[in-house]
Structure 1
Amino acid sequence: MRLYSLGEIQKWERFYRANFINCLSGFKPVSLVGTVSKEGVPNLSVISNIVHLGADPALIGYINRPLPAAPDSIQNIKDVQHYTVNHITEDIFQKAHQSSAKYEPAVNEFEAVGLASQFEEGIPAPFVQESPVKYHLQLVEIVPISHNQTFLVIGALQHVFLSESLVQTDGFIDLEKAGSMLSLGLDGYANATMVQRLPYAKP
């Protein structure tokens, strides 16, 4: 096993370093965040740092990159206060990845990448029609992380859309059956395979 020191890592080329460090945290859920601007332009952003923050109240967070790199989604969330999270499957992952390109704010990114926007009654933000698991969040808080100029965006769960056949008798959602994908690094996509569910651990 080789030791990689921080001093060595800091000398690497930018994208090599980003790939290396991004892989260290392991496989992560990957989803599309759907938003709409106050002018009504739908926007998509591929996100691989979504995290469960609590079940009661039901809170989910994600890390938004610094504003110069990713300004549109967070601005739309600030303005509209609502957004959606949509799981990515093997059928759409290449189109989903294309949403990481830096489109101009006036561009409808659903149309640009070839995905269909889906608006549901009473929900101002668009869903990805092709996604098998999708949910609607209302903004709770945006927490600036001053050390690297990123933001923790925290939302409260409002609505969930998925097939009842995916939900087991104890509430467990079979995301392998849904085809929900994982990501590794900046551009690696993988399918998930369940090994085993274990009972609640006790001393």
Structure 2
Amino acid sequence: MTEIDIPTDADLWVFAYGSLMWRPGFEAVEQACATVDGYHRALCIESHRHRGTPERPGLVLGLDQGGTCCGVAFRAPAAAVPSALAHLRERELVTGVYLEVMLPVTLADGRRVSALAYVVDREHAQYVGLLSHDETLRRVSGSVGLAGPNVDYVLNTARELDRLGVPDTALSSLASALTVSTDE
């Protein structure tokens, strides 16, 4: 749960790739589609609290090594940075599975900014890596945590990516399978 030193007297960009895209929880004066290289979005983290329990862990997204990830960058104004950081750290650094880092991000208009991001710690016990489609579907389908059903988390993220026009084949495929299984 290491926090990095982030100046609180200037605006702060935050890169979102999962639920932060559709529920950032902090004041932003600008948002833009954005891309980060060297990482990809993956359901690679067991959730024992928000989207599952220790007995029935759910899966949440991590920014994992390799590839490219399209998401959303939010710019928090300097006056809101202390409260934004407090919110993000309370939300993302609960178990230490995420590492707080600054990454170079390319905004849709071509600007390059440095953005706060939360990447998965591959050495953490909650990191499960790449699971099969069937195993991912099984885990997500039956898990509920303090923040609600794991299915809702995946479907909301897939809907937001669709709304933004951001392709994510693996998440779309999983969302389609989850929609079919919940309709039956």
Query: What TM-score results when the alignment is normalised by the length of structure 1?
Result: 0.29
Query: What TM-score results when the alignment is normalised by the length of structure 2?
Result: 0.31
Structure whose residues are more often helix by fraction? 2
